[in-house]
Amino acid sequence: MNQPMKILIAEDNEIDRTLLGTLIIRFGHQPVLARDGQEAIEVFRTESPDLILMDAMMPVMDGFQAAAEIRKIAGNKWVPVIFISANSRDEDKIQVFAEGGDGFVAKPVNQRLLEARIGTMQRIVVMQREVTAGAEQLAQYREENEQEQNLARHLLEKIIRADRFDDKQIERWIHPAKYFSGDVIAAEFTPNNVLHVILADGTGHGLAAALNVLPVIEVFYGMTKKGYGVSNIARELNRKIRQLLPTERFVAATLAAIRFSDHTIEIWNGGMPAACYVDEGGAVLREWHAAHLPLGILDDRDFQLKTEIYHWEEPGRLFLYSDGLPDAQNPEGERFGTDRIRQAFSGKACEDQFWYLVGAVNTFLERENAPDDISVASVACGMGFGVSDTFPGIPAPAGMVVPSEARLFVKLCAAEIRSFDVLPWLISWLSQLYLSPRKCQELFLILSELYNNALDHGLLGLDSALKSQPDGFGLYLDMREERLSGMQQGVIEIELERIQDGSDPFLKIRIKDSGNGYAVEAAPEPGGDDMETPSGRGITLVRTLCESVDILAKGSEIVAVYRLQ
């Protein structure tokens, strides 16, 4: 049967008290006795009984008062009180229950009835104890869960360096769900001043969601800082997520590369709502629908790298958002939908579009939290040529000596040119020569310029003049895409050599392509007149930064010498 209970008997009549005590022992429980209401309270305090048999009429303090006091002392713990009284008319019983009694037994006490009542009360007490224990445990779990959520948020904020990025060009807004659901927005410049932005949405909620996206952010920053392109970053992210996370977890993401020097936007979209470029009047000029599966699903062989590039000819804004935005529901259950998104910026000036959208969502939602994070990022795309940012090169530790003679040679064939990101690879080699950030950036610019010329003009035979024509840029990009994928033969050789001339260190850069040569000097790039910005273009830039530039073999080989100190 059940465990023995400790039962408090409060009864002023000595004979009745003793009798009840004996009965309780016979029922298998342990009695503690009190002679009146006051004593009952004291005994309750010291003995903590599980159940009370209380005589309604007692001197000093009656049963009802005592019961009320005892309830206060007991607090959350429920201790049933069975009143015993000779008065057993209906009104008396009603009074017992009105005063908070849990049971009533008439005097003279019927032994079996009392036993049955006590049995019932015991069952209820056991249930109540279980429920309370359950509730306490639940409260504890909830607290632990909240702590974990806070940790996740903290970690994520540190990793996104949300505090760091106060750029006026990028606006971002995350309206978090009740349980953080894993949306992240991060942005960083490559050494070549290309702005990379990622908006990622991991499956799940809470800590699980944060865990999904942490590896994404680290890889994004690492590769961007090294100068990798968006396709390669997407592929690496896919690999990493697939490797780390279980089958049912994936990360939808939009990766964008915005080149202010070229006015191009390149996007890889896996499973996210369409990104869009909106002009100054709020009209959508271009959309990038999800062409790919989210990250972490396909294995490396099947992964698709293809991005879509757009060249902007008028100022505007790029908008990226997660599915929380169109899916957001108002109290009536209506979806915000894509139409309202478009409406929000229609007719609005560029500076205002983002905040109109945010305002429209807040108004629509009325109440506090949606079930899914709502995230929006927006990048202003003007007609200027971008702001220079310093490349964080590695400063030389004091007294560090590097080899005065060092050489790197790499030869790329057609397939390698298509898929190997050689520039970050070169830069990582260079960074081991302990150059200043400024130097590193200049070298990156020089190498990009020379390499891209060798590829675009030397091997693919494209003409830069096309870019300056109306709609020519789009055509240029399409032709480039076509020729690059169709290229069967083609070789680019790159040689970097650190040489010492007396006490002056130099880097000799040689790039050779297997083409027939092209008019190097006649390759003007848009914005080439603007000598003030380091992202000014063409061979002119290279000449400005280098000690010397020699064009050999009708343009298919260029040797530049750059002063390292």
Partner 1 sequence: MQIKLDRKGEVARLVLGGRFDFSSHREFRAAFAEALEMEGVREIEADLGQVDYLDSSALGMLLLLREKAGEANAKVSLSNCKGVVQQVIEVANFQKLFIIR
Applying CB under 8 A, the residues found at the interface with partner 1 are 201, 203-205, 247-250, 252, 270-273, 289-294, 297, 323, 335, 372
Closer residue to partner 1 in complex, CB, 52/251? 251
Report in angstroms how near the CB of residue 45 gets to partner 1 at its nearest. Answer: 46
Closer residue to partner 1 in complex, CB, 306/438? 306
Closer residue to partner 1 in complex, CB, 333/397? 333
**Amino acid found at 408:** L
Interaxial angle between packed helices 37-47 and 63-74, expressed in degrees from 0 to 180 and rounded to the nearest 10: 20
Q: Which residues pair with 170 in a beta bridge?
A: 379
Count helices and strands (H / E) in the chain.
16, 20
Closer residue to partner 1 in complex, CB, 154/289? 289
> Angle 211-158-394 (CA atoms, 0-180°, nearest 5)?
115
Report in angstroms how near the CB of residue 375 gets to partner 1 at its nearest. Answer: 14
Q: Does residue 440 contact residue 388 with C-beta atoms inside 8 Å?
A: no
Helix (H, G, I), strand (E, B) or coil at 51: strand
Report in angstroms how near the CB of residue 271 gets to partner 1 at its nearest. Answer: 5
Closer residue to partner 1 in complex, CB, 308/463? 308
Report in angstroms how near the CB of residue 307 gets to partner 1 at its nearest. Answer: 15
Give the span between the Cα atoms of 489 and 318, in whole angstroms.
37
Report in angstroms how near the CB of residue 248 gets to partner 1 at its nearest. Answer: 3
Closer residue to partner 1 in complex, CB, 49/270? 270
What is the bridge-based pairing of β-strands 275-279 and 374-381?
A: unpaired
Q: Does residue 275 contact residue 318 with C-beta atoms inside 8 Å?
A: yes
Closer residue to partner 1 in complex, CB, 251/412? 251
Nearest CA among 362, 337, 244 for reference residue 295: 244
Report in angstroms how near the CB of residue 209 gets to partner 1 at its nearest. Answer: 10
Give the span between the Cα atoms of 117 and 16, in whole angstroms.
18
H/E stretch holding 486 reads helix 472-486
Report in angstroms how near the CB of residue 415 gets to partner 1 at its nearest. Answer: 25
Nearest CA among 555, 494, 559 for reference residue 521: 555
What is the bridge-based pairing of β-strands 504-513 and 81-85?
A: unpaired
Rg (CA), the chain: 39
Report in angstroms how near the CB of residue 474 gets to partner 1 at its nearest. Answer: 25
> What φ, ψ does residue 537 adopt, rounded to 5°?
-110, 175
In this structure, the number of other CB atoms found within 10 A of the CB of residue 85 comes to 20
**Sheet arrangement for strand 251-259:** 183-189, 194-202, 251-259, 264-270, 308-311
Closer residue to partner 1 in complex, CB, 337/382? 337
Task: Write the CA distances from 129 to 24, 125, 217, 328, integer angstroms.
Answer: 22, 6, 47, 42
Enumerate residues 6+ apart whose C-beta is below 8 A from 431.
393, 394, 440
Closer residue to partner 1 in complex, CB, 250/312? 250
Report in angstroms how near the CB of residue 289 gets to partner 1 at its nearest. Answer: 8
Closer residue to partner 1 in complex, CB, 24/252? 252
Nearest CA among 288, 283, 287, 275 for reference residue 343: 283
Give the span between the Cα atoms of 177 and 369, in whole angstroms.
6
Report in angstroms how near the CB of residue 137 gets to partner 1 at its nearest. Answer: 21
Give the span between the Cα atoms of 494 and 242, in whole angstroms.
34
- Strand runs (DSSP E) across 12-80, as ranges? 30-34, 51-55
Report in angstroms how near the CB of residue 247 gets to partner 1 at its nearest. Answer: 5
Report in angstroms how near the CB of residue 171 gets to partner 1 at its nearest. Answer: 24
In this structure, the number of other CB atoms found within 10 A of the CB of residue 562 comes to 21
Closer residue to partner 1 in complex, CB, 182/538? 182
Count, residues in the chain: 565
Report in angstroms how near the CB of residue 249 gets to partner 1 at its nearest. Answer: 6
H/E stretch holding 173 reads strand 170-175
DSSP state of 305: -
Closer residue to partner 1 in complex, CB, 279/372? 372
Report in angstroms how near the CB of residue 439 gets to partner 1 at its nearest. Answer: 44
Closer residue to partner 1 in complex, CB, 247/363? 247
Helix (H, G, I), strand (E, B) or coil at 77: coil
Return the C-alpha torsion angle 266, 268, 273, 277, nearest 10.
Answer: 0
Closer residue to partner 1 in complex, CB, 315/337? 337
